[in-house]
Chains A and B, each alone.
Chain A
Amino acid sequence: TSHEYKLNFRKSKEACLSYIQDAMLQKQWKRAAEFLTFYIESLEKDFSTEYVGPSEMIWRIGTEILCHHSHSSMKEFNSFIEQMKTLGVKRYLKVCLEHAFHLLCNGRTDEAYQNLSLAESWRFGEQTTAQDKEMKLIQAYRGLLDYYSWSKQKNVLLEYEKDGFEDLSVEQEMHSSFRKAAVNLKEIIQIPGVWDLFVKCYVDLLEFYGDHDEARQVLSEYAYNSKFPANPNAHVYLYQFLKRHGEPKKSLISVLKILYDIVPSHELMIDFNTMLQKSKKRKKRRLGLEVIFAALDYAGWKENVKAWSCLARQVKQIIISEKHPDWIKQEWNSRKDWWPTFHFSRYLAKRNWQENESLAYEKALVAGILLGKDCKYFKYVSHQGCKDQKKRFRTLKKFVNKHSSVYLRISG
């Protein structure tokens, strides 16, 4: 320990801060509060040269303590935040925004809404433009809350309809919430960024009121505008929308192609492969094989029966048609060194057989084709299956035996 012999205000407060930090890290909230009381007088000497000044420190630390301390209440928290708002004009909107988040996290939606509305109406000369970003966020979140109101009101109306009632006032409220929400949501999603929740809500609104063109436009922008950060979800939302509205396979495939490029392990790869397999175009079928092989490179897919069945189906189809076995060879080339241990070890054979017979079946087919009938996996599973007198395994065995020469061509 270094003992500071020259003690001044600054060093004393630095030491105080480190005690607060230690206490917080050890979740000793009473002790943290105690030291904070001694730190608070730093406010009267705001170091303008510091990167993070005392008022910001106190805001952050105080928030943490009040969140965790057993004796603190929401009322206390609110009163604390109100004081923080007066401390730093440059941070005013940020504090408001975080306050709203806190309220939302505690289920106080109405209060959050009030806070956001109040913050929206704040004006302070130059600061208003300087804090433009925060203002936009405040408006966006208020729009989100408007959406939730709309959603609630919509559900109420649907309930009424079931019972044969009508309620004009609720309906009017609903429309008014829609208008308020739409304006703000539309505004925020124009700014490059990740706005998944906002986009979904906005699209929901548009779909309800039948504005499908606008919805498609919004989703396309969100997915394809290069100014926006690469976001797999954007493509997922677009795909789901197009599917909902019965778009042709061609469009769906082109959307999923981009998703495949970004996230080859995405769960929609199964849908993608299924569509591609059925395609009349050779290139698409080729891509399908590539996609399903790529997905199964990921550990999270190892026990996915659906994926294995897709691969098995496609491989089987290729073998039977006797066209393009080279496709399999190409895909297998980069995998033959590690897939055997990764997917087709004897240990996995046993485990798969014990846990999931269908999985074992699909995998055995693939293994039999790729590694030949003498491979550990196939031998074990087919033996077990035949022993149990399961018909499909006998069929499987016959199939693989019949096409054993293919293996030689693939592995060669």
Chain B
Amino acid sequence: EDYHERCVQCSEVNWGLTDGGRFYCRTCHNVIERTREVVNTDVISNTRVQTISKGLRKQEKTDEGWEWYVCEGFQFVLKKQAEALEALGICPQMKDEILCNFWRRYLQKSQQAYCNRPAGEAIKVLSGCDSSTDVDSEPERPSLLHLLSFSESDGDLLTDCSFGSSIGKVSESTSVCSGSVDGSLHLMKNQKDKLRMSMPMTLSFCYMALLWLREPMTLSDLLRFVVEGHIPYLNVFQCFPEKMKLYGLDLKIFCVESWPVYEEVYDKMLQLAAFLELPRFPDITDSCFLHPDMLCMKYLMEANLPDELHNWTCRVVKKIHIGEADFLTFAPGNKSTRKVKYDVLAAAVIVVVLKLLFLLDDHCEWLLSDFAEERNKNNKEDGPYFEFKKWCKIIKSSLDVEQKKLDEERAKYLWRCEKPLFYSAKKKSKVLKRRQIVVNLQNQFGKLSGSVQPAEKPNPSSFQLNWSEENTDGSCFHGHSLKGILQEKCGLLTAMNPDYWLCTVKLCTEKLCGHLAHYRDLDFPQSYHFVLRLFSFLLRIQPSYIHEEVCMIEHKLFNKKLYKKPKYSPGQRK
């Protein structure tokens, strides 16, 4: 740095650069307006967060590697994820601006960087805490030992403290190892108010950024891309640079052994947005991908349902006002509004429309289908009428095939990463030996597997099921007409089915049990279950989430009948 002005606050000349490229005074931490174009060649040294209390980073010249902090690791992960998203077609603004800013704000709020009171102080408080160096790792012990209760290290992790210069800073008595400086600190439980960073939370960050930019990717899409391997998640730490050594407690932080769950990622996002005190997000309007009208169209196509149904979904959306910007837009500060899961909402709207038209009580839909079939026989001029029975048959066989494939894929997941991980130096040789055996065995039995091609990553696609109207076997229903089940009344086409049954007469109190409604497939008609199953496959979520949303929509739709005229009871069919 060839900037030699004295700092206005402390009069020192000791400048450093933030990753945003702005100058700050290393002595008093004053950040100034002056920026500097930084050309990034070495990826890591410029994304490393300069936590203020630590001062200048010591670059170890030995093999031990750099000192690095957990948040740097996460920063790296986010960067990789953002790059992957960009490769999938998301605009670069997400990576360069939005995600960055969110992250920076998070660091600020959680007092890990960019603020006056450094997190280092907390460390001093902890160093006084008593932890035994006993080899036994029983989960009940109120010490750092309980953090290791799932590790294979059998406690010798604690006695081996030959690695890393990080030990002294954490605590003299604990001798806990991790490659990162603050690994153990990160895992301490008293971080609730600071919203501790975790791997699933990286996806919450990503989704939040996508939402801010209103990019055409739903949360279920995002999570599916993660599982399919298009977005780094599982062993992303493999891409950490050589010098960022990862072991010990770091493994607990960065090694995941389960796929992210929709609810978890979503809830964390809500918490995160509140924590960061973000303002109201940009409006979701009817030209946005996430708007129910748009998503319904997409899902109708994917579910191989007639395009004409789209009119109906739009009608429902309009009637219950869920297409309005105020309802759809995410406002973290506003605690009273229900937060919207766009994908689930759209799927639920379609389910409600199907119920409106076909009733789905294991009876009416088949009658209507037969009726449509009859009409189809005499139908020469118009396009074919939609027959529910045919659709069910085709969808069921496709669904079964796809589900079977998915189940097998899940059983075949390889979770281990190329780089073997170990908790301590002692374990290293054992781990490497094991790794060798594993590789040998995999080769041996791989040869006996016959000519099986290694599973290739499917190309990232927004659509999981594809139906083309060019298929001559009549398996595509997009162009089919609903006239087969509609009738003319006062010049309008209305459903022949006059009935409806509510999934639930009364909604639960979300605060008490966490859900609006509960789902048990045995309690509901098979056709309804089938439709739920279809969308739960497409969105990779449990049917009960969609069911809940359906209940919510129904209650809005029949609001007047339910709440204002207690005498009239549409009643539950089953």
Chain A residues within CB distance 8 Å of chain B? 1, 3-10, 12, 15-16, 18-19, 29-31, 33-38, 40-41, 43-46, 48, 58, 62, 65-66, 69, 71-72, 76, 79-80, 83, 86-87
Contact = CB atoms under 8 A, between A and B. Distances in A.
Interface stretch (B93-101, B378-386, B432-440): B432-440
A375 to B, nearest CB: 66
A83 B441 contact: yes
B213 to A, nearest CB: 28
B336 interface: no
B102 to A, nearest CB: 27
B20 to A, nearest CB: 38
Given A15-B411, A30-B450, A40 B152 contact: no
- Per CB-CB distance, the 10 closest pairs between chain A and chain B, nearest first, are A8-B258, A34-B449, A33-B448, A15-B411, A9-B257, A30-B450, A16-B411, A38-B412, A41-B416, A33-B445
A58 B444 CA distance: 13
B35 interface: no
B438 A45 contact: no
B513 interface: no
A43 B438 contact: yes
Main secondary structure of the interface of A (DSSP, over half): helix
Nearest to A34: B449
Nearest to B449: A34
B414 A38 contact: yes
Contact of A33 (B261, B411, B449): B449
Given A30-B448, A34-B449, A65-B448, A12 B410 contact: yes
Given A6-B258, A86-B437, A87-B437, A41 B415 contact: yes
B105 interface: no
Contacts of A69: 448
A5 B448 contact: no
A249 to B, nearest CB: 62
A246 B436 CA distance: 65
A337 B410 CA distance: 65
A31 B450 CA distance: 8
20 contacts: A3-B407, A6-B258, A7-B259, A12-B410, A12-B415, A19-B408, A34-B445, A34-B449, A35-B412, A37-B445, A38-B413, A40-B438, A41-B442, A43-B434, A43-B437, A43-B441, A44-B420, A62-B441, A65-B445, A80-B444
B148 interface: no
B403 interface: yes
B435 A3 contact: no
B435 A58 contact: no
Nearest to A71: B448
Contacts of A86: 433, 437
Given A5-B261, A44-B431, A19 B411 contact: yes
Interface string B527-570: 00000000011001110000000000000000000000000000
A251 to B, nearest CB: 59
Contacts of B410: 4, 7, 12, 15
Contacts of B279: none
Contacts of A3: 403, 407, 536-537
B224 to A, nearest CB: 12
B546 to A, nearest CB: 12
A7 B261 CA distance: 8
Interface in B422-458: 431, 433-435, 437-438, 440-442, 444-450, 452
A33 B447 CA distance: 9
A40 to B, nearest CB: 5
A173 to B, nearest CB: 39
Contact of B445 (A5, A45, A62): A62
A46 B432 CA distance: 14
A5 B408 contact: no
Given A19-B411, A44-B416, A71-B448, A37 B442 contact: yes
Contacts of A34: 445, 449-450, 452
A6 B261 contact: yes
Nearest to B412: A38
A233 B431 CA distance: 51
Contacts, number: 106
Nearest to A66: B448
User: Which size bracket describes the interface of B in this complex?
Assistant: 35 or more
Given A7-B413, A44-B420, A87-B437, 8 more contacts: A5-B261, A6-B259, A7-B410, A30-B448, A31-B449, A33-B445, A46-B152, A86-B437
B41 to A, nearest CB: 36
Contacts of A33: 445-446, 448-450
B105 to A, nearest CB: 30
B411 A29 contact: no
Nearest to B261: A6
Contacts of A65: 445, 448
B437 A37 contact: no
Nearest to A41: B416
Contact of B415 (A9, A19, A79): A9
Contacts of B449: 30-31, 33-34, 37
B247 to A, nearest CB: 15
Contacts of A80: 441, 444
Contacts of B415: 9, 12, 41
Contacts of B446: 33, 37
A81 to B, nearest CB: 12
A44 B537 CA distance: 32
A79 B444 CA distance: 10
A372 B541 CA distance: 84
A18 B437 CA distance: 23
Nearest to B420: A44
A80 B444 CA distance: 8
Contacts of B434: 43-44
Nearest to B150: A45
B160 to A, nearest CB: 20
A37 B452 CA distance: 12
Contacts of A58: 441
Contacts of A72: 448
A345 to B, nearest CB: 57
A12 B257 CA distance: 10
Contacts of B447: 71
A113 B416 CA distance: 39
B437 A45 contact: no
Nearest to B454: A37
A87 B420 CA distance: 17
Contacts of B412: 16, 35, 38
Interface in B244-290: 257-259, 261
A65 B446 CA distance: 12
A172 B411 CA distance: 60
Contacts of A15: 407, 410-411
B442 A5 contact: no
A403 B341 CA distance: 102
A36 to B, nearest CB: 5
A30 B451 CA distance: 9
A83 B444 CA distance: 11
Contact of B152 (A6, A45, A62, A66): A45
B411 A38 contact: yes
A41 B414 contact: yes
Contacts of B258: 6-9
> Which one of B411, B434, B435 has the highest number of Cβ atoms from chain A below 10 Å of its Cβ?
B411
Contact of B437 (A1, A35, A71, A83): A83
Contacts of A4: 410
Contacts of A19: 408, 411
A91 to B, nearest CB: 15
A87 B430 CA distance: 11
A62 to B, nearest CB: 7
B411 A12 contact: yes
A11 B541 CA distance: 17
A62 B257 CA distance: 25
B214 to A, nearest CB: 27
A95 B435 CA distance: 21
B358 to A, nearest CB: 24
A5 B438 contact: no
